[in-house]
Amino acid sequence: MLDRLRNNGLLVSGKVFVNNLISGLIMAVITVPGAVANGVLAGVNPVFGLYSMIVGTTVAAFVTSSMLMNVDSTSATSIATGDALIGISPDQQLSYLVVLGVLIGLVQLVFGLLRLGKVVRYISNSVMTGFLSGLGILTILGQISDLTGYYSQANNKVIRLVDTLLHVGEIDLPTLMVGIAALVTILVLGRTSLSRYSYLIGLALVTIAVIFWKPASVVLVGDTSPIPRSLPHFILPDITLIPAMFSAAVAIAIIALVQAAGVSQSVPNLNGQYSNISRDFSGQGVANVAVGFVGGIPVGGSLSGTKLIQNVGGTSRWANIFTGIFGALTVLLFGKLIELLPMAGLAGLLIAVGVSMINVGRIRLVLNTGLVPVAIAAVTFLATLVLPIQYAVALGVALHILLYVYRSAERLQIERMVRNEDGSFSAAQAPKVLTSNDVVLLQPVGSLFFAGAAEFEENLPSIGDARRTVVIIRLRTQEDVGSTFISVLTRYVEKLRAQGNVLMLAGVDKHVYRQLERTDLLKLIDKQNVFLEEKRYRASLLKAYQRAQDYDWSGTERPLES
């Protein structure tokens, strides 16, 4: 029993326990403004964002496979929740929110129990880039009223912006000054060593200014949504609302899981092993069911939150557990202070969040990969702006699935090509784990486009403790690779380099070579280690194999440092 608790990260030393308690306190202080803002973003009482932090973060910390994954309301889940609640009267929102949260949790729980972690491969990099960029724009547009003090009656956010610009004379100057001050402070501090505290400092400064300035026209949180001085209580869902919320619940569940899968695949546990994605699905499902029963905003794994918990010293599950506990103390002890937050300040904070959701590097990667990824990202982006979010996600996924089915009807496999004594090559099973001082030649069989790239990554040999090993990947017949494959290859070469190994590519098509060049992957691999396809069969392969055999680890081509 004790060993199980220790392996799960719950049984720790007293020193680790205290360190994580402090980390949880710092994390709570930093993230409370974001939790309140997510409540505003979802169009509900801001305290519901805090309920997500209190219940969701704490419950998930006990049950996810990832020991450090921070599970909380995110910008994506919040704006998707707000979209699902459009047209519902304020007095009925809580009932619908409860049903939505429980449904999302049940969907995620089913995905996890059925071990459907692989389902995330059907949300490609292009779809997520278009979707998150669209959400970023919607987040920014959704704050125009609170930022300016002019509340347009238009339903569409774009039309609302136009209407505001046509009524510049009705913009409230003190409100605008507060919002701009918060936004500028956050953006400026975001480029300094205080970046992790930028939201907290920006919101605190404008709140203090408003308290002393006392402008009558600046709307406070307490003016719109009084904050209860009590912990969340159990609310029984109204099952008659299930049909109205089901499609939105499935879409939000998938959105949250895709974001969380990025955490599972990029943040290892303390033992160096990556978490089980399916178990992370189940853990988030349990957390969302719990959040739903108290009326919180649906939660999901947050990469930024997970990185932050590490940056403030979190080393075990207890860091997230204490984050939730201190969030509860915030509601009980400082609810009055939350009511003093200016809505314009929260609008400035959310605009900064919207800007951060538009990942320029990710957009550039898609643009440099080819027309097909660009088209899919563009369609998803536009759909996110004009359609309900569940339909936008479904459209983007459907487009990519159709393309995948069209391009490849067979499951991708990886074969190892072994050099025979007579100079020929024969196919063999690819190794599960690399060994040191070896040359491993891999031949993918099938399309590397989209989901094939995810299967390729899954089947690649684990690096283990291997050093001074050359991995050659033969890309003959691959005339096009998507941004998802570029990302997979980037992660693999970085892992190889970290332990003094080398990646080479053989049989590279000219179009693929240009993709590698535009995305800077060619520079990462080293141009000398990439061999273009030649007319003579296997000429490129033989050149790569010879270079690998003759690789001078001790001379100018010494092993890369870890």
Last residue of a domain, one of 401, 434, 466: 401
Q: What is the pLDDT of residues 76-108, one digit of tens each?
A: 889 889 989 988 988 899 999 999 999 999 999
- How far is the C-alpha of 61 from the C-alpha of 319, rounded, in Å? 9
Which residue has better confidence, 296 or 116? 296
- What is the reported pLDDT for 445? 83
Q: Which of 441, 551, 444 is nearest to 500 (CA)?
A: 551
- On whether residue 309 sits in a domain, the answer given is yes
Q: Residue 503's domain spans which residues?
A: 413-549
- On whether residue 426 sits in a domain, the answer given is yes
- On whether residue 155 sits in a domain, the answer given is yes
Q: How confident is the model at residue 188 (pLDDT cuts 50, 70, 90)?
A: very high
- How far is the C-alpha of 78 from the C-alpha of 500, rounded, in Å? 43
- On whether residue 406 sits in a domain, the answer given is no
Residue 387's Cβ-count burial label (10 Å; 0-12, 13-18, 19+) is: middle
Last residue of a domain, one of 373, 401, 429: 401
22: amino acid identity, one letter: I
Helix axes 75-84, 90-113, angle to 10 degrees: 120
Q: Which of 390, 435, 388, 440 is nearest to 415 (CA)?
A: 440
273, 360: one domain: yes
- What is the reported pLDDT for 386? 84
| pLDDT value at 294 more than 90 | yes
Our CA dihedral for 129, 199, 101, 261, rounded to 10 degrees, sits at 40
| pLDDT value at 119 more than 70 | no
Q: How many CA atoms lie within 13 A of 187 on its CB side?
A: 13
- On whether residue 420 sits in a domain, the answer given is yes
302, 324: one domain: yes
Q: Would you state the structure tokens that stand for residue 158, as one six-digit string?
A: 């774009």
Which residue has better confidence, 333 or 399? 333
426, 380: one domain: no
- What is the reported pLDDT for 43? 87
Q: Would you state the structure tokens that stand for residue 166, as one six-digit string?
A: 């046509």
Q: How confident is the model at residue 555 (pLDDT cuts 50, 70, 90)?
A: very low
- What is the reported pLDDT for 558? 43
Specify the CATH number for the domain of residue 491. Answer: 3.30.750.24
Average pLDDT over residues 394-411: 68
Q: How confident is the model at residue 262 (pLDDT cuts 50, 70, 90)?
A: low
Q: What is the pLDDT of residues 52-73, one digit of tens each?
A: 999 999 999 999 988 888 999 9
- On whether residue 554 sits in a domain, the answer given is no
Q: Would you state the structure tokens that stand for residue 228, as one six-digit string?
A: 């209860």
- What is the reported pLDDT for 122? 62
397, 417: one domain: no
234, 172: one domain: yes
Q: What is the pLDDT of residues 424-481, one digit of tens each?
A: 888 888 999 999 999 999 998 877 776 678 788 888 999 989 999 999 999 887 777 7
- What is the reported pLDDT for 321? 96
293, 383: one domain: yes
472, 374: one domain: no
Q: What are residue 336's phi and psi, to 5 degrees?
A: -65, -40
- How far is the C-alpha of 540 from the C-alpha of 502, rounded, in Å? 17
209, 171: one domain: yes
Q: How many CA atoms lie within 13 A of 190 on its CB side?
A: 13
- On whether residue 493 sits in a domain, the answer given is yes
The count of domains in the chain is 2
- What is the reported pLDDT for 410? 53
Mean pLDDT (the chain) is 86
| pLDDT value at 161 more than 80 | yes
273, 363: one domain: yes
Helix axes 371-386, 125-141, angle to 10 degrees: 30
- On whether residue 561 sits in a domain, the answer given is no
Q: What are residue 110's phi and psi, to 5 degrees?
A: -65, -45
For the residues of 239-265, what is the DSSP string, one character each?
A: GGGHHHHHHHHHHHHHHHHHHHHHHHH
Q: Would you state the structure tokens that stand for residue 482, as one six-digit string?
A: 């998507």
| pLDDT value at 346 more than 80 | yes
106, 59: one domain: yes
Last residue of a domain, one of 358, 379, 401: 401
- What is the reported pLDDT for 29? 82
Average pLDDT over residues 341-370: 88
- What is the reported pLDDT for 274? 73
* Most confident among 124-128, 305-309, 504-508 (mean pLDDT): 504-508
Instruction: Give the position of tokens 């300094």.
Output: 192
For residue 24, what is the DSSP state?
H
Which residue has better confidence, 400 or 109? 109
86, 203: one domain: yes
Estimate to the nearest angstrom the gap between the alpha carbon of 474 and the chain centroid: 31
Q: How far is CA 384 from CA 80, 341, 395, in A?
A: 10, 30, 10
The secondary structure of 157-224, three-state, reads HHHHHHHHHHCHHHCCHHHHHHHHHHHHHHHHHCCCCCHHHHHHHHHHHHHHHHHHHCCCCCCEHHHH
- What is the reported pLDDT for 7? 62
Q: What percent of the chain has pLDDT over 90?
A: 38
389, 455: one domain: no
